[in-house]
Amino acid sequence: MTILVTGGAGFIGGNFVLDWLAGSDETVVNLDKLTYAGNLQTLASLHGDARHVFVQGDIGDRALLAALLAQHQPRAVINFAAESHVDRSIHGPGDFIQTNIVGTFNLLEAVRGYWTDLPAAGKAAFRLLHVSTDEVYGTLAADDAPFSETHRYEPNSPYSASKAASDHLVRAWHHTYGLPVLTTNCSNNYGPYHFPEKLIPLVILNALAGKPLPIYGDGQQVRDWLYVKDHCAAIRRVLDAGRLDETYNVGGWNEKTNLEVVNTICALLDELRPRADGQTYATQITYVTDRPGHDRRYAIDARKLERELGWKPAETFESGIRKTVQWYLDNHDWIKGVTSGSYRDWLNQQYGA
């Protein structure tokens, strides 16, 4: 048995591949374009493992997808491949349209061609699971109920708009062509192997380097934080038992303001790696101009996933963030490998030298 994972060298996809092969002998064919956010170092422990077949390529390459599907005959496709950083989407939306919309279209068409030719039993068992985001739902006021699966789509950034479009394509390919699909919409992930353009790894690395810890606006933007390994467990569960053409929201039940998150990281670093001068890392917090269209609050109602499939997160924010900080303290080689000149150029562009 085989599954095809797209975007399996990125943050969530890489964690999923590692998690899958830690608990299964089922082969993973891993297709990743290896953009700046794809990193084979994340998968170094699988070097020489016959269960992991890595292919560098783009989900927009329909001929490559068709060839991989025909050769490996997967029973499922899990689509993590996406451009995912809001700030980058503001500076350059074209890549997001190309990967998240056009790429998803090409993936759906390649999978539809493969699925159509399967024998009846194979067609019935096959699944395509599309991994998406809570950002498609827009923003919430402080007293609004969390996002449910029936919340209307109101994306506010080029990134979230492109992911919303991809979700609609997946739904349409089921209703028009019968393709057996599942969709998950997750809250903010954090954990090991997270590329340090996102808040948590950026703050950890900047703190250790003695650099400012940039906080957008007043720092009161609220996010629901989900430990990445909990997300991987949810995806496995949805793939195994989710109902066709259903959407499942995956959240951590951990609403925190950005300022709370940064102060928590500073307190952990004060404990685990104190500054030489005895000062707290919190003195490095710096407020920067808010980004355009910054959503104020995200929150996920994950009760459907718990009610129907028995999943709930194993980690609290307190336990997950401690594991995450410790991982970054312990994995200098991985960090050095991803913080290249192009990464430093991006930081200077986004936050100022």
Q: Looking at the annotation, which residues are catalytic?
A: 134-135, 159
Burial class (CB in 10 A: 0-12, 13-18, 19+), 307: exposed
- d(Cα 351, Cα 93) in Å, to the nearest integer? 19
Planar angle of CA 83, 84, 88, nearest 5 degrees: 85
- d(Cα 302, Cα 310) in Å, to the nearest integer? 11
- How far does Cα 28 stand from its chain's mean position? 18
Distance set, CA 94 to CA 91, 97, 102, 155, 223 (Å): 9, 5, 11, 16, 26
Q: In sequence order, which residues have a C-beta less than 8 Å from that of residue 10 and are 6 or more positions away?
A: 32, 37, 38, 39, 80, 81, 84, 195
> How many residues would you count in the chain?
353
Rounded (10°) angle between helices 104-116 and 158-177: 20
Residue pair 298/139 in contact (Cβ under 8 Å)? The answer is yes
Closest residue by Cα to residue 20 from 2, 39, 35: 2
CA torsion, ordered 144, 149, 150, 154, to nearest 10 deg: 70
Residue 274 is encoded by which pair of tokens? 């104190």
Put the strands of the sheet holding 255-257 in their side by side order.
188-190, 222-227, 255-257
Closest residue by Cα to residue 189 from 150, 147, 154, 232: 232
Closest residue by Cα to residue 300 from 141, 149, 85, 86: 149
